[in-house]
Homo-oligomer: A and B are copies of this chain.
Amino acid sequence: MVSERSRTVGILGGMGPEATLDFMHRIIALTPAVTDADHIHMLVDNNPHVPSRQAAILDDGTDPGPTLVKMAKQLEAAGADVLVMPCNTAHAWQDDIVAATAIPFVSIIDETVARCVEFERVGLLATRACLRSELYQAKFAAADKELLLPTDEELAEFTRLIAIIKTGEKDAAVGVAMQALAEGLCERGAQAVIAGCTEIPLVLDVGALSVPLLSSTDILAEATVAIARQ
């Protein structure tokens, strides 16, 4: 009865909530559509109450794994054909999600790394917990490519900016400061910079840098639309 022209996408969201909406916007914008029915069906658990990934990885806080697994299983039960999670750090629990479900999981890390083939040295902006989990470093080492990371000082500044973005603040100064961090990586030789946190594109346009800014949000959205419309 319902015309299902594409696969249903299950989204583990809310980390943060605004970043999930940004991701959903990209999915809609990337889908060729004349009427509502041409769009992709999205089942979204926009859950800002998932235990902090930062606290779990850095400070031995509550493990978010069981919550993420529960969300994934519920999305699968509700009819999702494929799962995505527009939060880089939460991919530290990707294996738990994949083990608990029978549908494909499209990894934001894998998709973003796949876009780096043309570059020899790539800079990465990501949270302290994402870096501590070595989600990107492991893939770059395997591919024998150089990954430039923020210094401790830059990481402290990045943490400060993400906290501001999460309050909903969209002051232009935050974007300028984020751009400065990305340019710092370019000055050290990065031929492209990965926006490895889905909060970054909320304040920084992909065209703002002197080198390509690889938005993990946009890259996951493109991969999701391609898979949903296969």
Contacts and interface: CB of A to CB of B under 8 A. Distances in A.
Interface of A: 1-5, 14-18, 21, 24-25, 28-29, 33-52, 62, 66-67, 74, 78, 163, 166-168
A10 to B, nearest CB: 11
Given A42-B44, A43-B45, 13 more contacts: A1-B62, A2-B49, A2-B67, A16-B39, A21-B28, A33-B168, A34-B166, A34-B167, A35-B163, A36-B52, A38-B48, A41-B48, A45-B78
Number of copies of this chain that the complex holds? 2
Contacts of A50: 2, 36
A35 B50 CA distance: 12
Contacts of A38: 48
Nearest to A34: B167
A18 B40 CA distance: 11
Given A1-B67, A21-B21, A42 B49 contact: no
B41 A47 contact: yes
B29 A37 contact: no
Given A36-B15, A67-B2, A167-B34, A46 B24 contact: yes
A100 B151 CA distance: 56
Contact of A17 (B4, B39, B49, B163): B39
A138 to B, nearest CB: 26
A28 B62 CA distance: 25
A1 B51 contact: yes
Contact of A66 (B1, B39, B46): B1
14 contacts: A2-B49, A14-B42, A16-B39, A17-B36, A21-B28, A28-B168, A34-B166, A35-B163, A36-B166, A37-B49, A37-B52, A41-B48, A41-B49, A44-B45
